[in-house]
Amino acid sequence: MKHKGNYKAVLAYLSFIGLIIAYILNMEEKDKLVTYHIKNMFGLVVLLFISTTFLNGNSFLFFSGQILWVGCFFCWTYSLVMAITGKQKGIPVITDLFQKWFHFLNQ
């Protein structure tokens, strides 16, 4: 069964701008599925910023940044598929942490 807020959850994963638009749209009519995916994408964006910061460091940091960037890409792909299918399922361990840390996005 398709969830009616599914498009907002998918929109959150399309870009940083899509994340902001999905957050604004979710403010009007709260949806737990959308909020879940907004928090997940926000956490992935934070990890992506950290990985790009590491890319400017020494060789160890550069390598770590590349590994983190690739990991973010695969996590983003998996999360996008979960949003498209309308499932409230995320990356093991990491998504649970994102849900706790970014509770301010519930508002």
8 — pLDDT class (breaks 50, 70, 90):
confident
> What is the per-residue pLDDT across 55-64, written as a single tens digit (0 to 9) for each?
777 888 888 8
> What is the per-residue pLDDT across 71-95, written as a single tens digit (0 to 9) for each?
989 999 999 999 999 888 888 888 8
- What's the longest Cα–Cα distance across the chain? 49
- Please state the pTM of the whole predicted model: 0.85
Q: How far apart are CA 51 and CA 45, in angstroms?
A: 10
Q: How far apart are CA 33 and CA 103, in angstroms?
A: 14
C-alpha distances (whole Å) from 82 to each of 23, 27, 50, 55, 76 are: 18, 22, 24, 29, 10
